[in-house]
Amino acid sequence: MIITVIGLGLIGGSIALDLRANGHLVIGVDDNPSHLDQALDLKLVDTTEILESALSKSDVIILAIPIDGIKEILPHILDKIPYNTTVIDVGSTKESICSIIQSHPKRGRFVAAHPLAGTEYSGPKAALKNLFKGKSNIICEEDRSDESSLETAIDIFNHLGMTTMFMNPKDHDKHMAYVSHLSHISSFMLGQTVLEIEKDEKQIFNLASTGFESTVRLAKSSADTWVPIFKNNKQNISDALEQYIEFLSKFKEAVDKGDSVEMHKMITKANNIRRILLGMKLNVMKLS
């Protein structure tokens, strides 16, 4: 198939890389000329083109740009594609994207997806082979996609080594606020707190250990990717943050009072996450 990937950063670049390895012809489109050069140098894509010319010749269009960009160009892409082209977006929130094209006459050619994979890096150089292998993919509003476009999309995610599940956009966005977006905010603010206090960076180099590194790793993530995600999942993220701040305040109260029993209780509750993390590991083993 001829597949156009719009946005050649971490996610789009990694998708392009794996689909090329699967024998597809991949056309790259990106606003940023240096991204196009890098994508060609790194052999992420077969060729690069401007959007208009890529649209007319592709079997599949994959949108891998920040959410706001997806919302802006998706309706125009649907306007312009030939009737048998499939358009897939891989954005991290789904409700606002699905709602914006819900009455589009070519809604059926669109598949709203979210492959659950990534790293804290961005840009074409961050693209990785097999980034998606053994991971989960979510498709939302599958009943609003034509059978043929849904099938095409699932095939593509299968080629990436993913298992696809269906979920409605509302549930998707709520779950993501807790299992992904909150982790990022927690890490961004942890990074900021440490930088605020530890003016002497040399001390952090010397004193921080692997535990610190693991909790602030996500604080390296790109603002351009994440601000639109937070904007488009506002209410869920606000709720998640409220709950998180409430628990932190309760824990602070226990620290202030020297209340060992309460601290012990809260930590032991949190320890139940062991079961979840073990479950994740078993799930990955099962999938791969």
The residue among 42, 47, 81 whose CA lies nearest residue 61 is: 81
Residues near 194 by Cβ (< 8 Å), separated by ≥ 6? 204, 212, 216
Q: What are phi and psi of 138, to 5 degrees?
A: -110, 135
Nearest to 262 by CA among 250, 254, 272: 254
CA distance 211 to 216: 9
Cross-strand bridge partners of residue 138? 114, 165
Q: Of 105, 199, 213, 285, which one interacts with a second copy (CB under 8 A)? A: 213
- Which range binds a second copy by CB under 8 A, 25-33, 112-120, 143-151, 154-162? 112-120
**Residue 22 touching a second copy (CB under 8 A):** no
Instruction: State how far the Cα of 271 lies from the Cα of 81, in Å rounded to an integer.
Output: 51
Measure the CA–CA gap between 205 and 92, rounded to whole angstroms: 33
Site membership for a second copy, residue 285 (CB under 8 A): no
**Could you tell me which of 74, 100, 99 has the C-alpha nearest to residue 86?**
74
Is there a contact between 108 and 145 (Cβ–Cβ < 8 Å)? yes
- Does residue 56 touch a second copy according to CB under 8 A? no
Residue 258 touches a second copy, criterion: CB under 8 A: yes
- Nearer to a second copy (CB atom), residue 50 or residue 273: 273
Name the segment binding a second copy (CB under 8 A); options: 7-15, 17-25, 59-67, 280-288: 280-288
Say whether residue 271 binds a second copy (CB under 8 A): yes
Q: Using CB under 8 A, which residues numbered 131 to 160 contact a second copy?
A: 135-136, 138
Q: Is 164 in the site for a second copy (CB under 8 A)?
A: no
* Residue 137: CB minimum distance to a second copy, A: 10
Least Å distance between CB 261 and a second copy? 9
**From 6-14, 31-39, 151-159, 212-220, span contacting a second copy (CB under 8 A):** 212-220
With CB under 8 A as the contact rule, the residue among 73, 100, 116, 126 that binds a second copy is 116
Q: In this chain, which stretch among 44-52, 71-79, 145-153, 265-273 interacts with a second copy, using CB under 8 A?
A: 265-273
Among 76, 129, 158, 195, binds a second copy (CB under 8 A): 195
Minimum distance, C-beta of residue 258 to a second copy, in the bound complex (Å): 6
Contact of 163 with 191, CB cutoff 8 Å = no
Give the tokens for residue 276.
Answer: 């979840």
Strand partners, 6: 29, 63
Interhelix angle 147-159/10-21, rounded to 10 degrees, is 90
Binding to a second copy (CB under 8 A) within 214-253 occurs at: 214-223, 226-228, 230-231, 234, 237-238, 240-245, 247-249, 251-252
Query: What's the min distance (Å) between Cβ of 283 and a second copy?
Result: 5
